[in-house]
Amino acid sequence: MINKKVANVQDALKGVSNNMTFMLGGFGLSGIPENSIAELVKLGVNGLTCISNNAGVDDFGLGLLLQEKQIKKMVSSYVGENDEFERQMLSGELDVELIPQGTLAERCRAAQAGFPAIYTPAGFGTEVAEGKETREFDGKMYVLEHAFKAHFAFVKAWKGDEAGNLVFKGTARNFNPNMCGAAKITVAEVEELVPLGDLDPNQIHIPGIFVQRIFQGEVYEKRIEQRTVRPKS
Amino acid sequence: MLDKNGIAKRIAKEVQDGYYVNLGIGIPTLVANYVRNDIEVEFQSENGVLGMGPFPFEGEEDADVINAGKQTITTLPGASFFDSALSFSMIRGQHVDLTILGAMEVAENGDIANWKIPGRMVKGMGGAMDLVASAENIIVAMMHTNKRGESKLLKKCSLPLTGVGCVKRIVTNLAVIEVTDNGFKLLERAPGVSVDDIKNATEGTLIIDGDIPEMDI
C-alpha cells in the first residue's frame, strides 16, 4: 500500500504559494473542503485563481478567501450568494469567468482523464463561445473547451483510507470526484479516515491513485445554505 | 389567467409515465407538486441526484442531501447520487426526457435568454446552457410579460442568449405555445383569456390556426 496519509492540514497544504491555480470541490456549501479553505486563509496566500462551481457565502466557504482578498480570479458557473464577491466583481478587483456547469465538470474530468480538450454543445451561439473554436458534428454545432490546468485540487470526501481511496456521501459528491487527479497535487480531506481494509473495494468512488495527500479534517460545520423543511403532520 | 401554480399544473400534464425530468428553479420546481400519482417519474437535480423526494421533515435535514437550488431534500426508494460529470452526461447525452425551466425571453425561432442582464449583477448560467443545448424536449415556464408589462415572447431576444433554437414549447399565465419554423403557434388559451389578449401580449409572430381551445386544468 502506498501511504497517502499526512498528519494534518498544515502538511497537506505544503507547497501552496501565491498566484497558484486551485480546484475546489463543492456545490454551494455542500461538500466543500472546509479545513483546506480555513488553512489557506491562515497561510494568507494570495493572487489565487480558484476553479469552483460556486464562491461560497460571505462568511463561509470561498467567501472566507474573498474577504481576505486572496482570490484574483474565479472560474465558476454560478455565484452571487455573496455580497463581498459582488462588490469585488463590480469594482473590477476580482476577475470572474462564468462557464456552464457541465463544461466546468468536464474540463476537470478532461484534465483527470488526459484529454487536452472536449467538444460540448453547451454555450454554442452564446457569448460563452466567443473566441472559441467551434465545429459541426452530424449537423450539430459544438464548442471546443480546454482541460483545466491547476497546481492543487482540494476535495472533500465522507470516508477515506491511507491508500487515498475515497467514498462520498449524498450530493456532497458533486465536483469532488471530477477534480481528483485533475491537478498536479490532489489533497483530499475526509470526515473519517478509516483503517486500511475497512472500505469495501466494490464501494470505492475514487481509487487512491488519483489522490496524493489525505487527512481527516478536524471539524466539519457542514452549513446548510437553504434549510427547507415540511411540517410533520 | 393562471398564477404560477396554474402554470405548473398545466405543465405537469406534459409529464409522462417513465420520464426522467429535470426541473429548474422557480415555477418549474412547483411542477413536481402536480404530477399525477398514477405514473412513475424520476426527478433529476444536476448537482447529482436522481429520484428526488419532498423536502425533509423538520429536524431531518441533511447538509449532504440538497437540490440544485441548494435546498435540503429527501430521496425516494430507487434514488441514486453521482458526480457532476456523470450528471451532465445524463443531460448532454439526452438521457433526461424532459427539461422544464424558466426564461426572461424566448424568441420565435426558439432562442432563449435566462441568465444575464447586462449592467446588473450576473450570477451565472449554472447548468442552464448545458440543459438547453442538449435536451430534445424543453418546456419553458414563465409569465407572458415582464414586470413592466412588456412581452417576453419576442421576434428576437434582446438579452444575452442561453441557447439557440432550442425551445419547443412555452407555457405562460396566458397560453400554451409551440415554437415552429414560422413562429409561435398558439395551442391553448388560459381560462378567461381571449386570443386578442394573447396577441396583445406577444411581440413575436403569433400563428392562430382555427379555434383555440381553453386549457383543461
pLDDT the model gives residue B173? 98
Distances (CA, A) of A37 to A23, A50, A76, A115, A187: 11, 11, 17, 28, 12
pLDDT the model gives residue A86? 87
- pLDDT band of residue B81 (cuts 50, 70, 90) is very high
Q: Is residue A60 part of a domain?
A: yes
| Beta carbons of B69 and B117 less than 8 angstroms apart | no
Distances (CA, A) of A202 to A100, A165, A199, A210, B73: 32, 11, 8, 17, 27
In this model, does residue B199 exceed pLDDT 80? yes
Full residue range of the structural domain in which residue A182 is found? 9-114+148-216
- pLDDT band of residue B121 (cuts 50, 70, 90) is confident
Q: Which helix (H) or strand (E) holds A112?
A: helix A101-113
Q: What percent of chain A has pLDDT over 70?
A: 100
Chain A nearest-CA residue for B164: A125
A28 contacts B49? CB cut-off 8 A: no
Q: Is residue A18 part of a domain?
A: yes
Tell me what percent of chain A is helix, strand and coil, each rounded to the nearest 5.
25, 30, 50
Residue of A95, A73, A89 lying closest to A22 (CA atoms): A73
Partners of B91 on chain A (C-beta within 8 Å) are 102
Residue labelled with grid coordinates 470572474:
A96
* Partner-chain residue, chosen from A99, A104, A171, that has the shortest CB–CB distance to B49: A171
Q: Is residue A226 part of a domain?
A: no
Partners of A76 on chain B (C-beta within 8 Å) are 124
In this model, does residue B191 exceed pLDDT 80? yes
What domains can you pick out in chain B, each with its CATH number? Answer: 4-207 (3.40.1080.10)
For residue A26, give the CATH number of its domain. Answer: 3.40.1080.10
Q: Is residue A156 part of a domain?
A: yes
- pLDDT digits 0-9 by tens, A38-55: 999 999 999 999 999 999
pLDDT the model gives residue B86? 98
- pLDDT band of residue A232 (cuts 50, 70, 90) is confident
Q: Is residue A136 part of a domain?
A: no
Distance, in Å, from the CA atom of B7 to the CA atom of B171, rounded to the nearest integer, reads 6
Distance, in Å, from the CA atom of B74 to the CA atom of B174, rounded to the nearest integer, reads 33
Distances (CA, A) of A25 to A172, A180, B105, B131: 9, 9, 33, 21
Distance, in Å, from the CA atom of A82 to the CA atom of A60, rounded to the nearest integer, reads 10
| Beta carbons of B153 and B183 less than 8 angstroms apart | no
Partners of B84 on chain A (C-beta within 8 Å) are 27, 53, 101-102, 104-105, 174-175, 178
- pLDDT band of residue B25 (cuts 50, 70, 90) is confident
The CA-based angle A34-A153-B62, given to 5 degrees, is 35
Mean pLDDT throughout B147-173? 97
Q: Is residue A192 part of a domain?
A: yes
Please give the tally of structural domains in chain A: 1
Q: Is residue A58 part of a domain?
A: yes
Distance, in Å, from the CA atom of A51 to the CA atom of A176, rounded to the nearest integer, reads 12
- pLDDT digits 0-9 by tens, A63-120: 999 999 999 999 999 997 888 998 998 899 999 999 999 999 999 999 999 999 999 9
Q: Strand, helix or coil at B178?
A: strand
In this model, does residue B79 exceed pLDDT 80? yes
pLDDT the model gives residue B26? 86
Which is catalytic among the residues B46, B105, B108, B188? B46
Q: Which of residues 5-34 of A touch B (CB under 8 A)?
A: 27-31
pLDDT the model gives residue A116? 98
In this model, does residue B122 exceed pLDDT 90? no
Distance, in Å, from the CA atom of B60 to the CA atom of B69, rounded to the nearest integer, reads 18
* Partner-chain residue, chosen from A29, A108, A124, that has the shortest CB–CB distance to B133: A124
A232 contacts B57? CB cut-off 8 A: yes
In this model, does residue B120 exceed pLDDT 90? no
Distance, in Å, from the CA atom of A185 to the CA atom of A164, rounded to the nearest integer, reads 12
Distance, in Å, from the CA atom of A43 to the CA atom of A233, rounded to the nearest integer, reads 49
Average pLDDT, chain A: 97
Residue of A69, A90, A71 lying closest to A80 (CA atoms): A90
Would an 8 Å CB–CB cutoff place A207 in contact with chain B?
Answer: no
Q: Is residue A133 part of a domain?
A: no
B84 contacts A102? CB cut-off 8 A: yes
More confident residue, B157 or A90: B157
More confident residue, A80 or B211: B211
